[in-house]
Amino acid sequence: MKNKKMIIGIILFVILIGLIILLKYMKDEKGITLSKHLTTVYVATGGGKEDFLADEDIKKILEKKYKLEVVYDTWSNGKTITRPLIRESVGLGDQKIVESIKHATDFEISSTGVSKYDALFTSDQRFYDYYKLAPNKELGEADRYTVLDGGLTLNTPIVIYSWGEVVDALIKEKIVTETDGVYYITDMDKLINYILEGKKWKDIGLNLYGQINIASTDPVTSSPGATYYGLLLSILSEAQVTNENVEKNLPKLKDFYTKSGYMNNTPADLFEKYLKTGMGGEPMIVDYEKSIIDFANSSPDAFNQVKDDIRILYPTPTIWNSHCYAAFTENGKLLYEALNDPEIGQIAWEKYGFRTGITGGTYDVSNIGIGVPQTIKSTVSSLKMDTYNKLIDYLKNN
């Protein structure tokens, strides 16, 4: 009898140990089994997609379907060019190396002991394109990894947010056209000229103070602002961005920049100001399409209060803000494949307003409750880095 109890006790003990081991490697509060034998992928990441990358549903897809655990370290786009792309450059990884860097010791991506990245996830296509080129040592640029794979991953077009009364006035001026419930700026040249000429809101029948203006983030310090001014340069150059056209139109853009007055540094601050101050405070602002979808999902009650008054204007043409992924290792390539998963793409659109794929994808926009087109048909290409640099230098120094 004692032997029988002892055998039962041993069996129960073995079962208990087995359960502990099983729970260690397999768990999920919703009943999804997750293996903890995961491959960790380290990614240097530009801003503008923090909530998307932190999304719990996306994390579960990456773990369950692709067996990936991803560490996203925050980098500014510019520093990916000028500083060695190692974790120690942003205070992570080997702390001895971090301290050495503080004391002006030079490290590169090839240095012994540094923590390397598997991928770069920029928030601006020009930095992705530029990263694939050889570093310009005369400008102090750091050595770079070889890009094995990558491309456009998350996209959102530049749009202009406004209000019903303003848009009605712009329709009368034949600047804006409505098609199937979507508002397009079909005469961007006329709108730009109104701003350059110093026309006032009251000149187009609106009881608003001051001159016609489109608020934007500062192109000198903000990537979204630079993208918008790149669009303006393309429009003024009639999509022929040659050296001659750039030189010809830079003074106009400087005048446009000067007339714009105070500028916010982040699109989130500008969009919040637009919502809080209404038509009297911000009649028109530049931002991304994704902002309204993100707002509708994160603050549905607040969105329902303003959605009937908000108007989204699509410049014709507009320009993509493209978050581009560059894989440096095989692990980086695995994550690139995973980020192109249709299920992740659906979450990217429905919750965060990112269109995915090279052409921006096709989506069901009917349940958003505000005028958003199924597809973005009229766009200009992103400008090259040297053109942006010339534009920003001119705005800053002249």
pLDDT tops 70 at residue 9? no
Structure tokens belonging to residue 37: 């034998």
Q: What is the pLDDT of residues 129-142, one digit of tens each?
A: 999 999 999 999 99
Helix (H, G, I), strand (E, B) or coil at 344: helix
List all residues 6 or more positions away from 372 whose beta carbon is below 8 Å from its beta carbon: 182, 289, 292, 293, 312, 365
Mean of the pLDDT values across residues 100-117?
96
| Averaged confidence pLDDT in the chain | 90
Q: What is the pLDDT of residue 223?
A: 85
> What is the per-residue pLDDT across 186-226, written as a single tens digit (0 to 9) for each?
999 999 999 999 999 999 999 999 999 999 999 998 888 99
197-199-203 Cα angle (round to 5): 150
| Lowest model confidence (mean pLDDT) among 28-37, 166-175, 345-354, 385-394 | 28-37
| Residue 27 pLDDT greater than 70, yes or no | no
pLDDT score for 366: 74
Rg (CA), the chain: 25
Q: Is the pLDDT of residue 23 over 60?
A: no
Provide the 10 A C-beta neighbour count for residue 260.
18
Taking only the tens place, the pLDDT of each residue in 56-107 is 999 999 999 999 999 999 999 999 999 999 999 999 999 999 999 999 999 9
Yes or no: say if 348 and 356 are a contact pair by the CB < 8 Å rule: yes
Residue 364 pLDDT class (50, 70, 90 cuts): confident
Q: Say which range, 26-35, 74-83, 327-336, has the weakest mean pLDDT.
A: 26-35
Query: Which CATH architecture fits 156-321+371-397?
Result: 3-Layer(aba) Sandwich (3.40)
Q: How far apart are CA 318 and CA 379, in angstroms?
A: 5
Q: Say whether pLDDT at 163 is over 80.
A: yes
* Of the listed ranges 11-20, 24-33, 253-262, 339-348, the one predicted with least confidence: 24-33
Amino acid letter for position 342: P
In 95-241 the beta strands, taken as DSSP E runs, fall at 119-121, 149-163, 176-179, 182-185
Q: Is the pLDDT of residue 314 over 90?
A: yes
pLDDT above 50 (res 13): yes
Which of residues 7 and 209 earns the better pLDDT score?
209
